[in-house]
Every structure is written in C-alpha cells, then in structure tokens.
Amino acid sequence: MPLTNEDVKRIESLGYKKEDFSIVVNGIRRLRNVNGKCYFLRNNRCIIYEHRPEGCRLYPLVFDGKDVVVDKLCPKWREVKITEEDKKALLKLIHKIYKIEL
C-alpha cells in the first residue's frame, strides 16, 4: 500500500519507526508486508485502524491503470458500489502519492 507523507507522520506519531513499517519501492514509500500480510495486521485485524493510511481507508477501491475498480481479492467485492466521490478521492490520492497530473 503506497503511503502519503501525512500517513507516515500519523503512524510515526503512534511511536512506530518508518524504517520498521515501510519500505521504498521505485521511489514510493509503501507499507511493509511481513509473510505476505500488512505489517499492522494482527489476528486478522488492523492494530492502527483509527490511524490507517488513506489508501487503506479507500480499499477495496483500486486503480487498474484505466479506471477505479473494486479489488476482486476482497471477499466482499461484489457488495461494493463505487460512487463518483469514491473515484475522485482515489484519483486525488494517486495524484498525491505519485505526483502525476489528473
């Protein structure tokens, strides 16, 4: 999951070190995975839920390179309805993280 600077600061304010919970891939800071699962996932629950990154808040919405879609890896993907507001929020987040023009 890509992280914004605000995400990193918010999580660091909880006492975590960014070197522990994140890595940089192709110039983008991302949440670290441990054994294929998010660093903050314990007993199938997010231990920083109230402070989770923006991308996690928008999940299961993802950008497939062309459009905003629902990630079919999500067990409840068929129940998710994408609104225009959701699309705008995800595209704004992508712009913020990747610093690209919308």
**Structural domain contains residue 54:** no
> Do 7 and 30 share a domain, yes or no?
yes
* Total-model pTM: 0.86
- How many other C-beta atoms are found inside a 10 Å radius of the C-beta of residue 100? 9
> Do 66 and 43 share a domain, yes or no?
no
**Structural domain contains residue 53:** no
Rounded-to-integer distance, Cα 73 and Cα 25, Å:
22
> Do 94 and 63 share a domain, yes or no?
yes
pLDDT, mean of residues 2-6: 95
pLDDT grade for 99, boundaries at 50, 70 and 90: confident
Structure tokens at 54: 């923006």
> Do 36 and 78 share a domain, yes or no?
no
> Do 20 and 43 share a domain, yes or no?
yes
pLDDT of residue 102: 44
Q: Which domain holds residue 3?
A: 1-48
> Do 68 and 97 share a domain, yes or no?
yes
Give 45-69 pLDDT, tens digit per residue. Answer: 999 999 999 999 999 999 998 999 9
Total domains in the chain come to: 2
